[in-house]
């Protein structure tokens, strides 16, 4: 029995180097990953898991993470107690503990790759969509910002406001989460890669904890759930829903998930989604323009409507109250995670969304 246990443990441990090797090899075959894994294997697995976890109205991911942290804490305390009681056997105890930890890490990592991780090496969305992402001029970037501002100001006149004059979701966030799929349904008529039946996004119970870490949403691959911070300002909530749903549909790169969120919102029948998605695109595009043409940036910024300015002020005030050391630590952890999955720009890759916006803009205005 001892030999079988050791054999099983060895097999579990070997999944870790095997997974790392397969992950590295997959980076050399993006077309194969796209056609075999992302569009067939992942889509099949994710939809099944998502539809099962979608039965529950609350996030299964939250409880799994909480249970895992409690279990890990209990195991460490248990090990310390056993070590204290039996100082002579501490070396053997810690050897077993480390061996078990490595074995389960191998299983966990290999499972992560199977249910999600290989998507990091699929084809860029620009190739899937047939976009030309050649570098654009600063003038083209400015023209894009002008176009987005006109659309954002126009959409802002159609949304509801609260007593403070800030945009609000008329039916609340829970109803918005239930209706978010409609944007992907419409967008899939243009890009079939978005097709599929997935569970609806979930509002996180511990949303305030997410706010303290500066997180708007998390996709949890083991439950195939798009989890969203329920405390977010209404103006950014629909776009965040669609961002996490883009991950759910197999697009892990942050810059692409932002652009896909914009696409889904733009094609959504509800004006609140259209406004939120266009506002997201405007913020990123104007952020880039401020670095390259400050004069034009200032000229466009002066034309922001009063309602739009109120929404931006409310969003800034929301995040300002949570600024601190914890957000910086969370950002570093997120940065390390992205780089570990070969997103070399780390958190800075979020800015590359503008390349996709420019490519779409140039295609529309040919």
Give the span between the Cα atoms of 190 and 199, in whole angstroms.
Answer: 22
Residue 60 has pLDDT above 80, yes or no: yes
For residues 146 and 86, state if they share a domain.
Answer: no
- Could you report the per-residue pLDDT of 238-263, keeping only the tens digit for each? 999 999 999 999 999 999 999 999 99
For residues 87 and 154, state if they share a domain.
Answer: no
For residues 102 and 195, state if they share a domain.
Answer: no
Token digits of residue 276: 């939120």
Tell me how far CA of residue 239 lies from CA of 91, 143, 243, 278, in angstroms: 52, 23, 6, 9
Q: What is the pTM of this model?
A: 0.89
For residues 343 and 208, state if they share a domain.
Answer: yes
pLDDT number for residue 334:
44
For residues 243 and 198, state if they share a domain.
Answer: yes
Which of the listed residues 58, 91, 121 is the one where a domain comes to its end? 121
Residue 272 has pLDDT above 70, yes or no: yes
Residue 137 has pLDDT above 60, yes or no: yes
- Could you report the per-residue pLDDT of 319-332, keeping only the tens digit for each? 988 875 444 544 44
Residue 277 has pLDDT above 60, yes or no: yes
Lowest mean pLDDT among 28-37, 46-55, 94-103, 112-121: 94-103
Could you tell me which residue, 328 or 224, shows the higher pLDDT? 224
Which of the listed residues 73, 102, 121 is the one where a domain comes to its end? 121
> Which range marks the domain in which residue 87 is found?
2-121
Q: How confident is the model at residue 1 (pLDDT cuts 50, 70, 90)?
A: very low
- Could you report the per-residue pLDDT of 144-156, keeping only the tens digit for each? 999 999 999 999 9
For residues 42 and 116, state if they share a domain.
Answer: yes
Judging by beta carbons within 10 Å of its beta carbon (0-12, 13-18, 19+), is residue 331 exposed, middle or buried?
middle
DSSP for 175-212, please give it: HHHHHTHHHHHHHTTT-GGG----PPPEEETTHHHHHH
CA end-to-end span of the chain: 71
For residues 105 and 84, state if they share a domain.
Answer: yes
Residue 159 has pLDDT above 70, yes or no: yes
């Amino acid at each position: 029995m001892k030999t079988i246990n050791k054999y099983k443990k060895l097999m579990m441990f070997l999944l870790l180097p095997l997974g790392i090797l397969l992950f590295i090899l997959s980076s050399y075959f993006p077309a194969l990953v796209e056609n075999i894994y992302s569009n067939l294997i992942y889509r099949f697995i994710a939809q099944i898991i998502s539809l099962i976890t979608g039965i529950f109205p609350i996030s299964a991911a939250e409880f799994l993470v909480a249970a895992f942290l409690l279990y890990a804490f209990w195991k460490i305390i248990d090990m310390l107690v056993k070590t204290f009681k039996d100082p002579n056997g501490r070396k053997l105890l810690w050897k077993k503990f480390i061996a078990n930890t490595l074995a389960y890490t191998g299983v966990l990592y290999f499972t992560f790759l199977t249910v999600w991780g290989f998507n990091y090496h699929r084809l860029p969305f620009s190739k899937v969509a047939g976009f030309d992402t050649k570098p654009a001029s600063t003038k083209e970037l400015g023209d894009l910002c002008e176009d987005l501002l006109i659309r954002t100001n126009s959409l802002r006149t159609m949304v509801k406001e609260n007593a403070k004059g800030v945009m609000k979701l008329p039916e609340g966030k829970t109803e918005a989460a239930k209706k978010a799929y409609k944007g992907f349904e419409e967008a899939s008529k243009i890009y079939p890669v978005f097709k599929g039946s997935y569970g609806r996004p979930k509002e996180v119970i511990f949303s305030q904890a997410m706010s303290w870490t500066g997180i708007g949403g998390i996709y949890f691959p083991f439950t195939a759930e798009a989890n969203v911070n329920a405390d977010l300002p209404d103006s950014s909530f629909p776009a965040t829903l669609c961002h996490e749903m883009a991950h759910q549909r197999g697009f892990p790169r942050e810059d692409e998930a932002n652009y896909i969120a914009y696409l889904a919102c733009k094609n959504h029948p509800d004006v609140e989604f259209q406004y939120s998605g266009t506002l997201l695109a405007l913020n990123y595009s104007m952020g880039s323009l401020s670095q390259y043409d400050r004069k034009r940036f200032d000229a466009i910024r002066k034309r922001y409507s009063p309602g739009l300015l109120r929404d931006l002020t409310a969003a800034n005030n929301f995040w300002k109250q949570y600024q601190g050391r914890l957000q910086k630590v969370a950002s570093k952890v997120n940065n390390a995670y992205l780089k570990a999955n070969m997103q070399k720009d780390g958190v800075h890759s979020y800015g590359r969304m503008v390349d996709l916006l420019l490519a779409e803009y140039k295609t529309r205005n040919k």
